[in-house]
Structure 1
Amino acid sequence: MYFTQQDIQARRDRLAAAWNEQLAPGEAVLVYSGDPIGKPGGLDQTYPFLPHPAYFWLTGRRRESEVLLYSRDGGWVEFQKSVGPDEAVWEGPRTDLLVEGPGKPLESFESALAASHFSAVYALGQIAGPVEGKAFALRTSLDRARRKKDAAEVRLLRQLAGIAGAGYARIQEILRPGLTERHLQAAYEGELLIQGAHAAPYECIVGAGPNSAILHALPTERVIGEGEFVLVDAGAAIYDYCVDITRMFPSSEPVSQQHKDLYRIVQQAHAECIGMSKPGVPWREVHLHAARVIAGGLVSLGIMKGDPAELVAREATSVFFPHGLGHLVGLRVRDAGHADNLQPKTYAGARLRVDIDLEEGHCITVEPGCYFIPALLDNAEVRARFRDDINWNEAAKWAGIGGVRIEDNILITAGGNDNLTIGVPKSSAF
């Protein structure tokens, strides 16, 4: 069993301490698990049900249509859906109720809510419409509580890192010119299931050669050639908990000096940013450091011109590093890190998914990248804006090489950090 009733109670206690400072006597919060979504034209078919992560985190249950109620006076009350006879025949015993806790029948929810005469009720979880006012503040407290991983969550993430590591080892075993990107996807995902994962948490990204510069490159039938970068961005999931990892491999050896130079720039940014990631450090500062390292590396190669810090300030680095450094990860691949950021800012020309100070218990990806993206390099406006910052003739010599991204999942600890995915294989060829 992944979680115990004691794990769930500790989470509730942590959140209740925050909510009790926000709720007035007589007010309540509802957290909805959500309902299945029907497939268009699918008659009685639905998409696989995913409970709202807040509901799952607070209950250990993945049952549709359930509700969790909290009030200062009444504490936590679960309204649970029973298994009907038809469901028992067609679906069999439920295997997704990780924590069996006491609850009331879902059928009694409406009458119990009416009888309680709450002065205000705030709806969270899987609901329709915007979350505003006090409900937004309550959700922000919930998200901040969820960001800090408990011991049971960390154990599961370590297990997932091991599973993903087996998948990447399988890629290393079979990778050679002549395979397609989809061959690698199939090998990786098959190994995940063999090792005990439930699924890949997102569509696996596999890009070879120039496709390695496509940030979300879905695998294609493209045949992998000699002497190419192969970028694989893939994770592993069990009950929505997941890891998110990126590795670079050469399609064949020896590796060219160009490939080595580009990889080593990103490798330096990756290592230094992990070293910076510790409690109290603003995430934006870690991102900006990555941009400065990448700018410095490109200057040394003659691709960019000028002082790296000034290039970052002018956002010229966004031509080669157009995304944020990372995001919170754990319960879903985009964990609770951005919902309270209503007006996201850009840093070095990239919009950050999270703009927070790191705290003990956060789990965050560190994934710097450097790419030669035709859509940016061939853009007339980009060329005009950065005409004095980029040596366009030199950049043209790198066209077609693709790009590099290296990504690990970092748990912030009291003394610094713990790289949960450090054991996932990396190529030694670079």
Structure 2
Amino acid sequence: MIHNLYFSEEQIKIRREQVGSQWNTVLNAQDAVLIHSGHPIQKPGGLDSTYPFLPHPAYFWLTLRRRETEVVLYSKDLGWIEFHKEISNEEIFWEGEKNDVLVSSPGKNINTLERFLESQHFSKVFHLGQAKDSSPEAFELRTLLDQTRRKKDAAEVRFIRHIAELANAGYQKIASVLKPGMTERELQIAYESEIFRKGADTVPYETIVGSGSNAAILHALPSQKIIKENEFVLVDAGADIFDYCVDVTRTFYSSGEMSSQHKDLYSIVLKAYHECVAMSKAGVLWRDVHIHSAKVITEGLLQLGLLKGNLSDLIEKEIVSLFYSHGVGHLVGLRVRDTGQDENINPQTYFGARLRVDLELEENHLITVEPGCYFMPAILESAYQQKKFHDDINWTELKKWYDIGGVRIEDNILIKKDGNENLTRCIAKTE
């Protein structure tokens, strides 16, 4: 199977050594940490029907197992001990042999866990990966684990490169079939059927397809809307195998060569994209990358004549928040939001966007760079915004841009010791 080319028992050993060395600085000898895989979630009104099970990413990362109701235990004296669930005959009858163990490893029966805990007389037992243990110690343990697994190891990088090639096949299919007259839904089907043919398990999030004015909707679900001539078609779509994934956005033009108006907007976002990618390196604060993207887009809108006044004043007023309300990127890799940043307990807002991550980039972080610029009438025509920015926007000119929708360009950038590597570079974009 494909995963056997990338992951091994040695990988698990190295990961556990890294986490153990961090945890040993805060754990006492009689403490234990339990990392839970999680439980199936029943569908509302579904009787015995559950959502497809997804293991907690920390458990999967430490075990390469995807089976529900399992636990891996760590203590300074005992090291790592796995507690496994045995598949019942009834489960085999209904679901067959599950493909949920990537690397075989020894473990005890999960039914012996409580008895084992009692026999060891642990003074404290911390639970991660289920309903959050609210203790300060558990928070510190989660943070140390997250900070460790944020740094992608060589096997993860190879696997994500492979997944990027699957997404590339889907984007190539879009480029070959996109034409006026087809629907957004048809474009979604073309993309997803192609990545599934190539080996993707699923999509990491609902595929986003927005044409024309719909391209301004950040999470536009594909509809039966007909794609027209001379429109932007924004596609934000990824590919996923065992929760490892890529998250990519490309903005296509529906027919022929871009109009000058479309090209002007696309060029602004492309400039922000290239400059932000170049900034993304170890030691750089992620907020500075976002702030730079906001300044580039503000300057571009001023040059187009949509904004009025002095650039520095417009930047200080954070007027760009009307056109670019999301952060410039997020951690990605094992799940589309990866580790997030749980330790950022007081998130700050920059240019109207509350960043999902607000940290210093480190070697082997994997993060999306995805600046965008959008024209959303519901936001731009609110009485509050029109009063606040009355003298800063050329309102008459702005209305000419409503049908444009928006542009976003996104790739997955691996931070290296010197510079970075674009792991989704294989997916072509308009330059």
TM-score range, shorter chain: over 0.9
TM-score (norm 2): 0.97
> C-alpha distance in 1, partners of 2:208/2:411?
15
Cα distance, 1:43 vs. partner?
A: 2.2
The amino acid that maps onto 1:47 is: Y
1:396 aligns with 2:393: no
- Measured against aligned partners, the alpha-carbon deviations of 1:175-218 in whole angstroms (never above 9, x if no partner) come to 00000000000000000100100011100000000000001000
Change (3 A) 1:72 1:308: farther
> C-alpha distance in 2, partners of 1:387/1:38?
51
> C-alpha distance in 2, partners of 1:258/1:122?
57
Judge which range, 377-386 or 400-409, deviates more: 377-386
Cα distance, 1:129 vs. partner?
A: 4.5
> C-alpha distance in 2, partners of 1:129/1:14?
23
Equivalent residue pairs, number: 427
> C-alpha distance in 2, partners of 1:313/1:163?
42
Q: The residue matched to 1:398 in structure 2 has which SS? A: helix
CA contact (8 A) 2:126 2:133 kept: no
Q: The residue matched to 2:248 in structure 1 has which SS? A: strand
1:318 aligns with 2:333: no
Aligned to 1:341: 344
Note the 1:24-103 alignment, pairs <5 A. 24-103=28-107
Alignment match of 1:244 (pick from 247, 260, 266): 247
> C-alpha distance in 2, partners of 1:265/1:257?
12
The alignment's C-alpha RMSD in Å is 1.1
- Measured against aligned partners, the alpha-carbon deviations of 1:10-31 in whole angstroms (never above 9, x if no partner) come to 1111111110001112011110
Aligned to 2:125: 121
- Measured against aligned partners, the alpha-carbon deviations of 1:321-342 in whole angstroms (never above 9, x if no partner) come to 1100000000000011321111
> C-alpha distance in 2, partners of 1:308/1:318?
15
Aligned to 1:282: 285
> C-alpha distance in 1, partners of 2:189/2:62?
34
Q: The residue matched to 1:397 in structure 2 has which SS? A: helix
> C-alpha distance in 2, partners of 1:387/1:120?
59
Cα distance, 1:388 vs. partner?
A: 2.6
The amino acid that maps onto 1:335 is: D
Note the 1:341-380 alignment, pairs <5 A. 341-380=344-383
TM-score (norm 1): 0.98
CA contact (8 A) 1:201 1:235 kept: yes
Aligned to 1:304: 307
> C-alpha distance in 1, partners of 2:310/2:411?
29
* Structure 2: runs of 5 or more not aligned: none
Judge which range, 36-45 or 346-355, deviates more: 36-45
Judge which range, 377-386 or 58-67, deviates more: 377-386
Cα distance, 1:130 vs. partner?
A: 5.4
The amino acid that maps onto 1:18 is: Q
> C-alpha distance in 2, partners of 1:345/1:305?
28
> C-alpha distance in 1, partners of 2:23/2:394?
55
The amino acid that maps onto 1:338 is: Q
Cα distance, 1:262 vs. partner?
A: 0.1
The amino acid that maps onto 1:387 is: H
> C-alpha distance in 2, partners of 1:16/1:250?
50
Q: The residue matched to 2:152 in structure 1 has which SS? A: coil
* Structure 1: runs of 5 or more not aligned: none
The amino acid that maps onto 2:87 is: V
The amino acid that maps onto 2:105 is: G
> C-alpha distance in 2, partners of 1:154/1:323?
26
The amino acid that maps onto 1:166 is: A
Cα distance, 1:413 vs. partner?
A: 0.5
Cα distance, 1:306 vs. partner?
A: 3.2
The amino acid that maps onto 1:46 is: T
CA contact (8 A) 2:171 2:427 kept: yes
Percentage identity across paired residues of the two chains: 58
Alignment match of 1:186 (pick from 171, 179, 189): 189
The amino acid that maps onto 2:327 is: G
Q: The residue matched to 1:86 in structure 2 has which SS? A: helix
Cα distance, 1:418 vs. partner?
A: 0.1
Judge which range, 15-24 or 298-307, deviates more: 298-307
Deviant stretches of 4+, over 4 Å? none
Alignment match of 2:429 (pick from 414, 426, 430): 426
Aligned to 2:229: 226
- Measured against aligned partners, the alpha-carbon deviations of 1:208-251 in whole angstroms (never above 9, x if no partner) come to 00000001000000000010000000000000000000001111
Aligned to 1:160: 163
The amino acid that maps onto 1:311 is: L
Aligned to 1:410: 413
Cα distance, 1:89 vs. partner?
A: 2.0
1:255 aligns with 2:258: yes
Cα distance, 1:310 vs. partner?
A: 3.4
